[in-house]
Amino acid sequence: MRLFAWGFAAFLALLWTAGAWMGAALTDWASAVLQSGDLTVEEVRRMPLPEMPEWLRRWADFFGLPAWRDAMVAALTVAQRHLPMLGEALAWLVPLIWVMWGVGLALLIAGTAGLLRLMGRHRRA
């Protein structure tokens, strides 16, 4: 039972680490793009809509996709001068993501150890 519990905890820790790594990488990329000012409204306007697979066409709202893109273009137009400041704010999130990763990992290890300790006490009684 101990091996299963620690194996499951290791699996959860692996998922937690992968999620934190992807979140930190995406946040770092978004911060760099926003700080550089490379993302312009015209580039967003020229981006093609993604080609949907055949099986998804029955479920997707294709008429809503251009509306979403137009809404994003309008939001970028309004926020164009504030994007570098938003990029600086996002840069502070990367260390925070890793701190939260460490706290979550410590709680996972402590929870697994505590659960196994309680299970050990229950068996002896």
Which pLDDT tens digit goes with each residue over 57-73?
777 666 677 777 778 77
Q: What pLDDT score was predicted for residue 104? A: 97
Domain that holds residue 70: 2-124
At 101-119, the pLDDT tens digits run 999 999 999 999 999 999 8
Token match 């015209």: residue? 42
Q: What pLDDT score was predicted for residue 99? A: 98
Q: Which amino acid type is present at position 42?
A: E
Show contacts of 83-86: CB within 8 Å, 24+ apart.
Answer: 83/34, 83/37, 83/39, 84/34, 84/35, 84/37, 86/34
Q: Which secondary-structure segment (H or E) carries 59?
A: none
Give the span between the Cα atoms of 118 and 87, in whole angstroms. 46
Instruction: List Cβ neighbours of 77 (8 Å cut-off, separation of 6 or more).
Output: 41
The number of domains in the chain is 1
Q: What pLDDT score was predicted for residue 29? A: 86
Q: What pLDDT score was predicted for residue 34? A: 77
97, 27 contact by CB (below 8 A): yes
Q: What pLDDT score was predicted for residue 62? A: 66
Q: What pLDDT score was predicted for residue 15? A: 96
Q: What pLDDT score was predicted for residue 40? A: 67
Q: Which secondary-structure segment (H or E) carries 23?
A: helix 2-36
pTM over 0.85: no
